[in-house]
Structure 1
Amino acid sequence: MTNDTFIREVNEEVRRERMERLGKRYGLFAIAAAVVIVLGVGGYVAWERYREGLEAADGTRFVEAGALIEAGKPDEARSILEAMASDGVATYPTLARLRLADVAQTNDAASAVPLFDAVANDGSAPQNLRDAAAIRAAYILVDTGTLADVRARVERLTGEGEPMRYAAREAVALSAFKAGDIETARPLFAQLAEDLGTPRGIKQRAGLMAETIAASTPAAEPAAPATSEPSAGAAAPTDGATPATPAPAAGQPPA
């Protein structure tokens, strides 16, 4: 056996003894940590399955409430939706609140506005549902509120890049037209009618409104043609006066 081989074997034995000592000292902790990890993973999987079950149940309740509304049983639907708004999971509480606002709008449109506003101002709700609630409130306020009311809810959604900018712009344009603010309504309707990305329904309505505004706006009268001014020194004849005959030149008989 060479010296190198002997030294290598000694080093390996030392490392083995160290590992055994570490195992004896920390073995229980390692086992406990492994158990905690296994239990944690198992608990997470169990919770996810439980949550999926709750979401499936909420989905069933939501569909049931919709069927009751269609069947003309809003009170029964309201009971289910109110329960979902209180104890639902994922996005179902927010969806239930929006559906409750729909039910309220059927009977009294104005009473639905604060319900939509509550969702729009709820920082814990998904942003797309908050924006949808603001749009719904704005459309109601086109008929029941003022231009300022509508703008307060959807002005932030009219900018380029906003997913709901077309509906927001239409709500502002309709409210402006209703308020007699044609200077605000005209360019918004024109923009909606010409934008290739505008949804078909909004584009058609905007085109009709743009035509209505154009038809109701009187055309500008053409400017009167300019009249020639008399040259300097030329006097216009007075009424009934005969223009003076120029005097004959010297040496010529009078006319």
Structure 2
Amino acid sequence: MSNPDSFIEEVTEEVRRDRLFALFRKYGWIGALVVLGTVGGAGWTEWTSAREEARAQAFGDAVLDALDLGAPEERVAALEAVATDGSQTAILKLLLASDPVADRATTLAALEALAADASQPPSYRDLAALRRVVVAGAEMPLSERRALLDGIAAPGRPYRAMALEQMAYLLVEDGKTDEAIAALTALLSDQEATSGIRTRAQEMIVALGGEVAPAAEAPVAAGDDAG
């Protein structure tokens, strides 16, 4: 390469370097911001994860301590004093509703409160409403129980099959035996009905004087034990 060519190459390289430094001075803050954002985001994620883990552990410890208490009244008082946040509130209310025999009033109150709490996930609210119907029994007007179950029995709801089972029992209570048998028979071929639901439906059909056709039995529903 001749000296003039070498000189031109050096000048060109210097110009490129100057342009690069100029661009860095002008836009370098963007790269710094990206780096800071990446590091800060990772730190925030780690801090949030640690905080959530600590919150869950504190809630679990408080619940276990409350459940270890001897008298039902002490357990209820301790559970009611546990601080909750988000879905922990639903879990705590379900725990408060876990002893309908020893404390029926507290159980029903906790279930009613959870079922009406729009801030909680629909699955928890449906479970609370379903359990409230079962626990209250004839103490709750039949029309009110049916209205609660209607919503839970809608397609796509997680406890749909259980709600349909309870609605069939309401028909029995209302003296509508033929309709109850028809509803229970439909459950036998319902893909969402568990083996437990189908077994109870078969037993109730027989008890009501109906007949169970072998062909009506459905295959094992998702979630049933294969063995």
Report TM bin, short chain.
Answer: 0.7 to 0.9
Letter in 1 for 2:179: T
Normalised to the residue count of structure 2, the TM-score between the two structures is 0.74
- Given that 2:86 and 2:120 are in contact with CA atoms closer than 8 Å, whether structure 1 keeps it comes out as no
User: What is the Cα deviation at residue 179 of structure 1?
Assistant: 2.0
3-state SS of paired residue (1:106) = coil
Give the structure 2 partner of residue 147 of structure 1: 142
Structure 1 residue 132 corresponds to structure 2 residue 133: no
Give the structure 2 partner of residue 42 of structure 1: 43
User: What is the Cα deviation at residue 95 of structure 1?
Assistant: 0.4
Letter in 2 for 1:41: A
Letter in 1 for 2:207: T
Q: Distance in 1 between matches of 2:192 and 2:31?
A: 60
Identify if the C-alpha distance between structure 1 residues 19 and 113 changes in structure 2 by more than 3 Å, giving closer, same or farther: same
User: Which of these residues, 72, 75, 87, is aligned with residue 73 of structure 2?
Assistant: 75
Give the structure 2 partner of residue 55 of structure 1: 56
Give the structure 1 partner of residue 15 of structure 2: 14
3-state SS of paired residue (1:125) = coil
Letter in 2 for 1:187: A
Q: Distance in 2 between matches of 1:29 and 1:173?
A: 66
User: What is the Cα deviation at residue 90 of structure 1?
Assistant: 5.1
User: What is the Cα deviation at residue 62 of structure 1?
Assistant: 2.4
Identify if the C-alpha distance between structure 1 residues 48 and 111 changes in structure 2 by more than 3 Å, giving closer, same or farther: closer
Letter in 2 for 1:83: A
Q: Distance in 2 between matches of 1:36 and 1:20?
A: 23
3-state SS of paired residue (2:117) = coil
Structure of greater Rg = 1
User: What is the Cα deviation at residue 159 of structure 1?
Assistant: 3.9
Q: Distance in 1 between matches of 2:7 and 2:74?
A: 87
User: Which of these residues, 91, 104, 116, is aligned with residue 95 of structure 1?
Assistant: 91
Q: Distance in 2 between matches of 1:4 and 1:90?
A: 73
Q: Distance in 1 between matches of 2:101 and 2:41?
A: 48
Q: Which runs of 5+ in 1 are unaligned?
A: 216-255
Provide, for residues 149-177 of structure 1, a one-character-per-residue CA deviation record: whole Å limited to 9, x for no partner.
Answer: 12221212324543312210121111221
User: What is the Cα deviation at residue 29 of structure 1?
Assistant: 6.8
Provide, for residues 36-75 of structure 1, a one-character-per-residue CA deviation record: whole Å limited to 9, x for no partner.
Answer: 542442233123112202212212222333343xx4x222
Q: Within 5 Å, which residues of 2 pair with 1:26-41?
A: 27=28, 30-31=31-32, 34-35=35-36, 37-41=38-42
Structure 1 residue 165 corresponds to structure 2 residue 163: no
- Given that 1:110 and 1:144 are in contact with CA atoms closer than 8 Å, whether structure 2 keeps it comes out as no
User: What is the Cα deviation at residue 198 of structure 1?
Assistant: 2.9
3-state SS of paired residue (2:167) = helix
Identify if the C-alpha distance between structure 1 residues 35 and 165 changes in structure 2 by more than 3 Å, giving closer, same or farther: closer
Q: Which runs of 5+ in 2 are unaligned?
A: 211-227
Q: Distance in 1 between matches of 2:110 and 2:168?
A: 24
Letter in 2 for 1:82: E
User: What is the Cα deviation at residue 126 of structure 1?
Assistant: 2.3
Identify if the C-alpha distance between structure 1 residues 193 and 78 changes in structure 2 by more than 3 Å, giving closer, same or farther: same
Q: Distance in 2 between matches of 1:143 and 1:119?
A: 21
Q: Distance in 2 between matches of 1:4 and 1:185?
A: 99
Normalised to the residue count of structure 1, the TM-score between the two structures is 0.67
Structure 1 residue 119 corresponds to structure 2 residue 114: yes
Amino-acid identity (%): 29
Q: Within 5 Å, which residues of 2 pair with 1:214-229?
A: 214=209
